[in-house]
């Protein structure tokens, strides 16, 4: 067997394995979100994650992959490779095209799953299905092309985002911000004067298990982005991923312990995720001490971002906006400071930091604007929000005819037919991750 064939085989196995780890993160999203929301909506969130996988993969295969990785048109968009057909010679030659598509499809699904938690418990299932198709077919692929596509204009500018702190997390996190604001807060989250009422998570052990699943998958997310089983930086990337995650969880835990005299499990969980999100851009570019600093800062920044959302009265049941949006942008900027090659603190050069700033702002604004336009258009076809009667009953029974447990569901029910008009409250608000602890 020639060295070339052996290398191709190793790279194929590595890419398919790590793509599988990233796809397995959908189980983490499902468990995490189901644990943070109320029990009457747990089936609903599982169904939304299934929609992410089923329709997200199909939309990305037919349209999204070509827009993102097709033959470049002026650095703005791809114009080939739809359904893996047409001009594909520009794709990496070190792995089969099918393996490359599989890995990128897992990333596309992860992006839209970030939004599902922010709109949980009140978004119309049909509206969410349509949004998933739009996100994976158009919104994510076009901005992704600017950074990761052939000759993308942000890549030419010098932006570095190894595994997607901005391409995936900041873009989707700020899209989640728009989605949460447009569908409004859950009934009862805020009173007429804007004072919040904390909704206790239904199952924190379930949320914790989801976090461990996501944590595991993230090593495929970051190290797998080498797409090369023989890459010398696989181990440093994995090490930086671990260091940033424990630093993020540790800083959030210690903050709540010394600020409120109790270690908050919800904040600790999201602190770990904040560390993972923040190091995703720079895991291949920074040293271990920088990874620790970035992760630790992101844990505290996540809490600050949560408090910011509360003041704006925007309802984000799982903390998707502070974890993915705020920390995704932060992690991308930190590459401009700490990158071994080109970082301001390491080399004294400003160009990389400026490129990171332009890139993360532009991509985040793209997610915000396109999500706003898309949801407005979807709202013309179907209501964005469920009716008040459906929301109070719970989406599990109202939309899916069953409940998460037999205790709740002694008989199987059909979805209700409600004449109540959709609730389009302009209430804005929410706390961190639906935590039940008092501040």
**Predicted pLDDT of residue 254:** 98
Task: Name the phi and psi angles at 313, rounded to 5.
Answer: 60, 45
- Give CA angle at 43 (41, 44), nearest 5°: 65
User: By three-state DSSP, how is residue 321 classified?
Assistant: helix
Helix (H), strand (E) at residue 73: strand 72-73
Taking a C-beta distance cutoff of 8 angstroms, is the pair 256, 262 a contact? yes
Give the torsion through C-alpha atoms of 407, 29, 50, 228, to 10 deg.
Answer: -150
Q: Which two tokens stand for residue 335?
A: 């590459």
- Give CA angle at 40 (427, 378), nearest 5°: 50
| Cβ density class 172-210: b for 16+ within 10 Å, e for less | bbbbbbbbbbbbbbbeebbeeeeebeebebbbbebbbbb
CA 263 to chain centroid, in Å, comes to 25
Residues paired with residue 387 on neighbouring β-strands, in sequence order: 422
- Give CA angle at 105 (99, 110), nearest 5°: 135
With a CB cutoff of 8 Å and minimum separation 6, the contacts of 93 are none
pTM above 0.75, yes or no: yes
Residues paired with residue 422 on neighbouring β-strands, in sequence order: 387
CA distance 107 to 269: 22
Taking a C-beta distance cutoff of 8 angstroms, is the pair 141, 68 a contact? yes
pLDDT 10s per residue in the chain (439 long)? Answer: 678 889 999 999 999 999 999 999 999 999 999 999 999 999 999 999 999 999 999 999 999 999 999 999 999 999 999 999 987 878 888 999 999 999 999 999 999 999 999 999 999 999 999 999 999 999 999 999 999 999 999 999 999 999 999 999 999 999 999 999 999 999 998 877 777 888 889 999 999 999 999 999 999 999 999 999 999 999 999 999 999 999 999 999 999 999 999 999 999 999 999 999 999 999 999 999 999 999 999 999 999 999 999 889 999 999 999 999 999 999 999 999 999 999 999 999 999 999 999 999 999 999 999 999 999 999 999 999 999 999 999 998 989 988 887 665 544 444 444 433 333 332 233 333 343 333 3
DSSP string, 125-148: HHHHHHHHHHIIIIIHHHHHHHHH
Taking a C-beta distance cutoff of 8 angstroms, is the pair 175, 367 a contact? yes
User: By three-state DSSP, how is residue 289 classified?
Assistant: helix
Residue with tokens 């989605």: 179
CA distance 158 to 344: 14
Taking a C-beta distance cutoff of 8 angstroms, is the pair 388, 398 a contact? no
CA distance 102 to 18: 10
Q: Which two tokens stand for residue 124?
A: 């119309």
Taking a C-beta distance cutoff of 8 angstroms, is the pair 439, 260 a contact? yes
**Predicted pLDDT of residue 436:** 36
List domains and CATH numbers for the chain: 3-381 (1.10.3430.10)
């Amino acid at each position: 067997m020639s060295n070339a064939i052996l290398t191709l085989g190793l790279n194929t196995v590595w890419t398919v394995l790590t793509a599988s780890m990233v796809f397995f993160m959908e189980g983490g999203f499902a468990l995490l979100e189901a644990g943070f929301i109320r029990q009457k909506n747990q089936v609903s969130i599982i169904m939304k994650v299934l929609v992410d996988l089923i329709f997200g993969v199909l939309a990305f295969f037919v349209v999204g992959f070509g827009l993102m990785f097709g033959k470049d048109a002026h650095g703005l968009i791809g114009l080939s490779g739809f359904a893996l057909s047409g001009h594909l010679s520009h794709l990496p030659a070190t792995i089969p095209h099918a393996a490359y598509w599989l890995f990128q499809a897992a990333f596309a699904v992860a992006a839209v799953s970030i939004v599902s938690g922010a709109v949980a418990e009140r978004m119309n299932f049909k509206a969410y299905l349509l949004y998933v198709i739009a996100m994976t077919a158009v919104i994510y692929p076009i901005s992704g092309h600017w950074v990761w596509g052939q000759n993308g204009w942000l890549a030419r500018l010098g932006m570095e985002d190894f595994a997607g702190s901005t391409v995936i997390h900041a873009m989707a996190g700020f899209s989640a911000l728009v989605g949460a604001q447009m569908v409004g807060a859950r009934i009862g989250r805020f009173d007429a004067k804007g004072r919040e009422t904390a909704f206790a998570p239904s199952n924190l052990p379930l949320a914790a298990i989801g976090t461990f699943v996501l944590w595991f998958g993230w090593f495929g997310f970051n190290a797998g982005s080498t797409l090369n089983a023989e890459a010398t930086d696989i181990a440093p990337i994995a090490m930086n991923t671990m260091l940033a995650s424990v630093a993020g969880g540790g800083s959030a835990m210690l903050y709540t312990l010394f600020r409120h005299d109790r270690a908050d499990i919800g904040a600790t969980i999201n602190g770990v995720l904040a560390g993972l999100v923040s190091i995703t851009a720079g895991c291949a570019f920074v040293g271990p001490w920088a990874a620790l600093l970035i992760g630790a800062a992101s844990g505290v920044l996540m809490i600050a971002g949560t408090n910011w959302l509360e003041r704006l009265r925007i309802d984000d049941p799982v903390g998707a906006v502070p974890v993915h949006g705020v920390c995704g942008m932060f992690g991308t900027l930190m590459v401009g400071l700490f990158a071994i090659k080109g970082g301001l603190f390491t080399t004294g050069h400003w160009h990389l930091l400026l490129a990171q700033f332009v890139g993360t702002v532009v991509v985040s604004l793209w997610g915000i604007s396109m999500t706003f336009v898309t949801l407005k258009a979807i709202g013309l076809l179907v209501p964005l929000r469920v009716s008040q009667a459906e929301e109070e009953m719970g989406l599990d029974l109202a939309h899916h005819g069953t409940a998460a447990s037999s205790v709740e569901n002694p008989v199987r029910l059909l979805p209700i037919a409600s004449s109540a008009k959709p609730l389009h409250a302009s209430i804005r608000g929410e706390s961190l991750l639906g935590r039940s602890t008092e501040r």
